[in-house]
Amino acid sequence: MQYGRIRNSGDDADIIGLGIDGSMQHFTLLRMEAWRLLRFIHNLALQSPIICPFFCEETEGEGADEDDEWLSPEPRSDSLKERQVDGDILQRCYEKRALEELMADPGHYYRFRELLTALDAGWYVKNFSKSTSSRLYFELGYAVLRYYLAPVF
């Protein structure tokens, strides 16, 4: 177990769910730090025309004047809708190597680094210095995505 994953059961069995339509879902329990990181990436991806072009087109301009809350990439634990992370969206981020693009805004990149640092009490960045290249943070981000997106056997 790493990157904020919580043991699913005594024998660490996977949690598999079947939908009424026959679709199978794989669930992983996450510590808050891991959820915040993955949901942050997920929220940024929803605003990216490269990762989620149809969602972007549908929501573009919708309520932008009255309510900019949907534009914020910051995870909201008070929202039931946001407590899950869509692995299909994360898979597209991983396959397209899109983290650099999603974190192009300096504020988003700074928050991304904070969220990575919070994983397992800073264990994965303990040897990073303030001058550490952004490349190492992105490599760590891709390692986290690869870990969570690994197929279930």
- pTM reported for the whole predicted model: 0.81
Structural domain contains residue 69: yes
Mean pLDDT over each residue of the chain, to the nearest integer: 82
Number of folded domains that form the chain: 1
Q: Is 26 contained in some domain? A: no
For residues 83 and 35, give the distance between their C-alpha atoms in angstroms, rounded to a whole number. 8
> Is 126 part of a structural domain of the chain?
yes
Residue 105 lies in a domain: yes
Domain region containing 103: 31-149
The whole-number pLDDT of residue 112 equals 95
Backbone angles phi, psi at 10, to 5 degrees: -55, -40
In a domain, 100, yes or no: yes
3-state helix, strand, coil in the chain (%, to 5): 50, 5, 45
Residue 20 lies in a domain: no
**Residue 14 within a domain:** no
**Does residue 72 lie within any of the structural domains?**
yes
List, for residues 27-69, the tens digit of each pLDDT value.
Answer: 888 899 999 999 999 999 988 888 887 765 455 554 444 445 5
